[in-house]
Structure 1
Amino acid sequence: MRTALVLGTGLIGTSAALALSARGVRVHLEDRDPDQPRTAAALGAGTEEPPEGPVDLAVVAVPPAHLAPALLALQRRGAARGYVDVGSVKGGPRRELAALGGDLGTYLGTHPMAGKERSGPLAATADLFEGRPWVLTPTPTLDTEVLNLALELVALCRAVPVVMDADAHDRAVALVSHTPQLVSSLVAARLERAEEAAVRLCGQGIRDVTRIAASDPGMWLDILAANPGPVADVLAEVAADLDETVRALRALESADEAKRGAGAAGVEAMLRRGRAGRERVPGKHGAAPAAYETVGVHISDRPGELARIFADAGRAGVNIEDVRIEHATGQAAGLVQLSVEPEAARVLTQALREHGWSVRQ
């Protein structure tokens, strides 16, 4: 691949353009908002100049509702040898493109499983897709050259290709991406009119659950409107579980001992199901989740403190597998939680204490 056209210079499009440009591909940038490709070009994502002829690959990074018309327009003007999109929904846009008379032989629907709460070119990074799954949904009529170009795109972005059926993909992302967004927003919405005293008690748990609720509502409306059926199916199952859990909790208020026992059993069953499901989420490098031990370190909010902790851990020969920070309410301090292999926890604890850190294991 020597040349590419990126249509849509938001977070995903600009990140792909940055990755391609960094690896020697000449990238041409287009967007209906002229300010966005100008910004992306200033970041080093490519050029605003139109290509002199067909490029090797056109990457369409527009909202799902606009994918098929945008792809059709590019195909009719002969913009590229091959066309891919990076939208989060695959079945509907492909059927719409076929209904409009588009060429499915030169088009491959793809979806990089990466993103941020922030949007726009200024949020883009060349390493956004590194190590992340990138779904490809080829059809029997797809030209082999286009598939190879798409695989090269994935490789240049240092992502991991995953081949799926388009409709299976849409059901999968409804479960692992679209429904979690709605559930996060539903929980966060409880905080909108909550008493200030309650909000001040927010800890890491509520921050974890509501993190993605900070995403752009307009962007998510476009995504959900393109995949409403599968999302509604999953949300209906969640609603059924919620109803059952509410009944179990109400039973715990009963004066009847048998009802309280049944209620406790119902709540415990739901918690156990949740734990079993969480254990299936892939861990580091896509492997089964490891049982790490957590070492907590009290830290002040000063420049260089995190670097010192990591340096001290490195000198002790301990690899930090994961890290999270729990911020203290109203104080310039917090608790850094370092996840390490169980056999390394004692070594790390001793080394950090020797270097003057306050450690909680």
Structure 2
Amino acid sequence: MRVHIVGTGLLGTSLGLALTGAGHAVTLADLSPTAQRLAADLGAGTVGEPEATDVVIVATPPDVAGQAILTALERFPEATVTDVASVKTVLLHEVRAACAAGDLDRYIGSHPMAGREKSGAIAARDDLFVGRPWVVCSDDDTPAERLAQIVALATDVGAAVVHLDPEFHDSSVARVSHAPQVMASLMAAQLVDMPADGVALAGQGLRDVTRIAASDASLWTQILAGNAAEVRDVLTAIRTDLDTLISALDLEPGSIATIAQTITAGNDGYDRIPGKHGQAPQKYAEITVLIDDTPGMLGKLFADVGELGINIEDIRIEHATGVKLGSVEVAVVPARQRELEEGLTSRGWWVPEAVIEHEGQE
């Protein structure tokens, strides 16, 4: 297909790279001449607005996506237009209110659930969408041939298409993406005035919780504003739970049970997060291996595990403070746990005896 991408940031450029690699003819446009030239230099397509195109993908920031969609519908009267913004309902309302009669059938909102903490074309990757959900928001009035175009493009970049209602999409991403960003940012902000000696105690738990706090502030301000009502509902519910926990920390009678119930509710929610490849979570055995933090050691560990014929289901690495030592937690199916421990020990690896089982996740 002929595909015109409007917006050459992380998502737009990554799409250009992936679609070009899949054999589509991609053209690029961006308000910034430098940004679009960079995307083209990286191989995401050619700069320029075509006379005609089959599909227009709007990959602009959320706060201008609505106008960009309307412009594309007017400029390319035969094209199917989609967007990749992380909010869908507000854009649909904006387009519906302003587009010409009949043009709404050519607009199909979509949202690839992919991204990075880094932004801009320079951070783009051609495999960014591989194995990731790609939400498509269509309805009974959507022409089948236009829907097929969007599904085909999503499939061609390696994504797994999921069909959702716009309102359900926005409610869902508020819980699985938008509110987690806020919570990560709030937690990381607590470190700003903390003495350096205290921050140095940080372990993997803090890194896990705050990883996405490094995300682009301008982009996330737009995302949160675009899905404000849904995010507000989630944060209000969290605030209620926080108030209950804060009161329990006064340690009055009954408080210990409240604290335990809070952690247990988190366990129950965690158990619902999909496991590998979107499958149901599975219990894995986790083997800890202590290794020198020197070149080649991690590769050697993986090679030895492979020679034992055991598949690594998940992996987690933590670095010791002040010592060039790493702790590698290797998750395997429980039936292979003892075999892996004995096999690695016989090959000279330092494997502590304590083994923790956890819910395996990607």
CA contact (8 A) 1:58 1:79 kept: no
In the alignment, structure 1 residue 266 sits paired with structure 2 residue 258: yes
Which residue in 2 is equivalent to 1:280? Answer: 272
Q: Distance in 2 between matches of 1:148 and 1:165?
A: 17
Q: Distance in 2 between matches of 1:173 and 1:93?
A: 15
Contact 1:55 1:79 in 2 (8 A): no
Which residue of 2 is the match for residue 293 of structure 1? Answer: 285
Q: Does 1:227 align with 2:227?
A: yes
Gaps of 5+ in 1: none
Which residue in the other structure is 1:41 paired with? 40
Select which of 90, 98, 114 maps to 2:96. 98
Q: Provide the C-alpha distance between the structure 1 equivalents of 2:185 and 2:227, rounded to a whole number of angstroms.
A: 17
| Deviation string, structure 1 residues 246-273 (Cα, Å, up to 9, x no partner) | 11111x2x5xxxx1xx000000111111
Q: Which residue of 2 aligns with 1:130?
A: 130
Residue 318 (structure 2) pairs with residue 321 (structure 1): no
- Could you tell me whether the CA contact under 8 Å between 2:181 and 2:213 is conserved in 1? yes
The answer to whether the aligner puts 1:113 opposite 2:105 as a matched pair is no
CA drift at 1:80: 5.4
Distance 2:121 2:336 in 1: 41
The 5-angstrom pairing of residues 109-258 of structure 1 reads 109-250=109-250, 252=251, 254=252
- TM-fit CA distance, 1:75: 1.5
Structure 1 segments of 4+ aligned residues over 4 angstroms from their partners? none
Give TM-score scaled by structure 2 length. Answer: 0.94
Greater mean alpha carbon deviation, residues 300-309 or residues 180-189: 300-309
Equivalent-residue separation in structure 2 for 1:81 and 1:336 (angstroms): 50
Separation in structure 1 between the aligned mates of residue 233 and residue 78 of structure 2, nearest angstrom: 38
RMSD: 1.2
Asked if the contact 2:53–2:79 (Cα under 8 Å) also holds between the matched residues in 1, the reply is yes
Query: Alpha-carbon deviations, 1:294-318, whole Å to 9, x = none?
Result: 1111122222222111111010000
2:97 & 2:17 partners in 1: Cα distance? 33
1:335 aligned counterpart, secondary structure: strand
Letter in 2 for 1:329: T
Deviation at 1:285, TM superposition (A): 1.3
SS in 2 for 1:162: strand
- SS of 2:312's partner is coil
**Following TM superposition, by how much is the alpha carbon of 1:198 offset from its aligned partner in structure 2, in angstroms?**
1.6
More deviation in 204-213 or 289-298?
289-298
Match of 1:22 in 2: 21
Instruction: Give yes or no for the alignment of 1:64 onto 2:56.
Output: no
Q: Percent identity?
A: 44
- The answer to whether the 8 Å contact 1:65/1:93 transfers is no
In structure 2, distance between residues paired with 1:151 and 1:332: 48
Is the deviation greater in 130-139 or in 230-239?
Answer: 130-139
TM-score, length of structure 1 as denominator length = 0.95
